[in-house]
Amino acid sequence: MVEILASQVVSGLATGCVYALVALGFVLIFKATDVVNFAQGEFVMASGFISYTLLIWYGLPYWLVFFVTILLSGVMGVVLERVVVRPIMSAPIFSIVIATIGASTVMRSAAGIVYGYDVLPLPTIFSKDPIRLGILNFTIMDVGVIGCSLAIMLALYLFFKWTKTGMAMRATAQSQTAAQLMGVSVKQIFSLTWAISAGIGGIAGVLIAPIIYLDPNLGIIGVKAFAGAILGGFGSIPGAIVGGMLLGVLENLSGYFFNAGIKQVSTYILLILVLIVRPSGLFGAVAMKKV
């Protein structure tokens, strides 16, 4: 029983890491621009298809595909920002959010037109063979996904803390005016934020597509990740990570202890419970205004 539980937690952490990455994408854009990008899930889906194209149609080696996909995802993010968001930047936030929803629909349909709506298998460099370590049963795939995700999160942390651009992004998130006064090009920072968010979505896509098969409706993962971000406190980066991981583990455990029906709603039940107790999420800061 403990053995089964342990393996459930490990595979839950693997899916949770992917949710965490996507949630991070949401939070980064939100912190910098106050916009919730509902096309984030579609970035994941698109990167899955891009890696499929490079791997299967062009036969490129796996590691090259990994990096090229992330690069192309980043470019996609910038394109979306320039074409969809920037022209309507002065509109109410709600309008921009609706525009991102529109973009997500367009992306989904485009994928359907090009690749069809059938489900496609994506090969992976991480083997799905089982390994036993004491009481733990897991696969190299699980370890690979968790490892990559943690590496990315660490890289982002270092980027934000120690590089000039990272600091500029943090500054812009805190106050656009002050950052501009300090010589930061806010427009460039916005583009960079979208590029990084989309790139993270890209990594998530490359990691998860081999696990759950590829099809244009893959973007639905964005909804779960969004819930994870809210759980952790929307606007908090560590919150997004913890929220996503918690969600992944919880889903698996509720599926094991209860049934498939409960598993589906466990995400939202947890969300409601947490928000009742802590309305700003686990790590969210309660906004205080000085009068």
Partner 1 sequence: MKRFHRSYAVLAAFIALICASRPPAAWAAEVGVTDKEIIVGAGVDLTGAVANWGVNIKAGMEAVFNRVNEAGGVHGRKIKLITYDHVYQPPKAVANAKRLVERDKVFIMMGHLGTPTTKAVKEYLEEKQVPNIFPATLASLWTTSGKWHVGDLATYADQTWLIIDYLVKERQFTKIASFYQDDEYGLDGHLAGKARLKHYGLDYIAEVDYKRADIDFSSQAAKLKESGAEAVILQAVYREPPRLAEQCHAVGYEPLFIGPSPIVVEKTIELGGRHVEGMIGVEVYPLPTDPGPFLDQYRADMQKYFPNLALDTTNVYGYQKAALFVEALQRTGRDLTRDALLNAIAGIKDWDPGWGLKYSYGGDDRRVMSRSARLVMVKDGKWARMGEWMELAEGGRR
How near is the Cβ of 8 to partner 1 at its closest, in Å? 6
Considering only CA atoms, which of 251, 247, 229, 254 is closest in space to residue 239? 229
Closer residue to partner 1, CB minimum distance, 130 or 279? 130
The residues, any chain, with a CB within 8 Å of residue 286's CB and separated by 6 or more, are 280
- How far, in Å, CA of 42 to CA of 258, rounded? 31
Closer residue to partner 1, CB minimum distance, 94 or 258? 258
124: left (phi over 0), alpha (psi -120 to 50) or beta: beta
The residues, any chain, with a CB within 8 Å of residue 233's CB and separated by 6 or more, are 239, 243, 280, 281, 282, 283, 284, 285
How near is the Cβ of 84 to partner 1 at its closest, in Å? 24
Closer residue to partner 1, CB minimum distance, 168 or 218? 218
Cβ 47 vs Cβ 205: under 8 Å: yes
Where does this chain touch partner 1 (CB under 8 A) — which range of 42-50, 58-66, 109-117, 149-157?
A: 109-117
Find the helix or strand (DSSP H, E) in which 130 lies.
Answer: strand 130-133
Q: Of residues 195-214, which lie at the interface with partner 1 (CB under 8 A)?
A: 212-213
CA distances from 45 to 3, 11, 49, 81 (A): 33, 21, 6, 18
Closer residue to partner 1, CB minimum distance, 57 or 162? 57
Where does this chain touch partner 1 (CB under 8 A) — which range of 18-26, 71-79, 112-120, 181-189?
A: 112-120
The DSSP-derived string for 92-103 is -HHHHHHHHHHH
Tally DSSP H helices, then E strands, for the chain.
Answer: 11, 2
How near is the Cβ of 42 to partner 1 at its closest, in Å? 15
The token duo for 140 is 């190299």
How near is the Cβ of 250 to partner 1 at its closest, in Å? 11
Q: Of residues 259-288, which lie at the interface with partner 1 (CB under 8 A)?
A: 259-261, 263-264
Which one-letter DSSP state was computed for residue 12? Answer: H
Q: Of residues 115-174, which lie at the interface with partner 1 (CB under 8 A)?
A: 116-119, 121, 128-130, 132, 137-139
Closer residue to partner 1, CB minimum distance, 61 or 121? 121
Closer residue to partner 1, CB minimum distance, 4 or 158? 4
- How far, in Å, CA of 286 to CA of 279, rounded? 9
Where does this chain touch partner 1 (CB under 8 A) — which range of 42-50, 146-154, 239-247, 254-262?
A: 254-262
Closer residue to partner 1, CB minimum distance, 140 or 275? 140
- How far, in Å, CA of 14 to CA of 249, rounded? 9
Size of the site for partner 1 (CB under 8 A): 35
Binding mask 214-243 for partner 1 (x = CB under 8 A): --xx--------------------------
Residue selected from 8, 191, 236, 267 as contacting partner 1 according to rule CB under 8 A: 8
Q: Which residues bind partner 1 (CB under 8 A)?
A: 1, 4, 7-8, 11-12, 15, 112, 116-119, 121, 128-130, 132, 137-139, 212-213, 216-217, 251-256, 259-261, 263-264
